[in-house]
Amino acid sequence: MSNKIKRKYMSLREEERQVIVTLELEKADKTWAQMEVQIEAEQWELVANRLYYALFHAVSALLIHDKHEVGTHRGAVGKFSLFYVKTGVFSKEDGRLYSHLQKLREDGEYNCFIDIEREEVEQKIEPSKVLMAKIKDYIQTHP
């Protein structure tokens, strides 16, 4: 989805915004399921990719829910930090996790000199699951 389209979400009626939030959360869940398939195949670069994108869609839902623009991937990381980590809504560890997953994804996709290691990715799975649950809980409890 283009940045232009995501910015248009900010001018939607509340009911329409909630539909988009729901769709982003569904996409996060689908991407998480794809990540689990890649674990079975031991495709660690793809696991890192899907893990990052699952969180990206969850964070996008969070930002859209709170009427923040969603533009670039780096912008989503920055806005998550600015609006949620620095304000104490989410922990510094949550912010570092999301930022680190973005770097892992970029390294896996764009850097032919780096191999994503199983151990590095595996240690991010459970904290990512917890962060996704926290994001969903925030959205549910902050209408």
DSSP for 72-123, written as a single string = -HHHHHHHHIIIIITTTSS-HHHHHHHHHHHHHHHHHHH-TT----HHHHHH
Residue 58 token pair = 């969850």
Q: Give mean pLDDT, residues 1-24.
A: 75
Query: Is residue 140 over pLDDT 90?
Result: yes
More confident residue, 41 or 6: 41
Q: Which two tokens stand for residue 50?
A: 């899907």
Cα–Cα distance for residue pair 32/16, rounded to 1 Å: 25
Mean of the per-residue pLDDT values for the chain? 92
Whole-structure pTM value: 0.91
Q: Say if residue 6's pLDDT is above 70.
A: no
Q: Which of 6, 110, 121, 108 is nearest to 57 (CA)?
A: 6
Which domains, from first to last, does the chain contain? 3-141 (1.20.120.330)
Residue-wise pLDDT for 36-78, tens only, equals: 999 999 999 999 999 999 999 999 999 999 999 888 999 999 9
Whether 137 shows a pLDDT value over 90: the answer reads yes
Q: Is residue 60 a contact partner of residue 96, using CB atoms and an 8 Å limit?
A: no
The 10 Å CB-count burial string (b at 16+, else e) for 29-43 is eebbebbeebbeeeb
- pLDDT per residue as tens digits for the range 93-134: 999 999 999 999 998 888 888 889 999 999 999 999 999 999
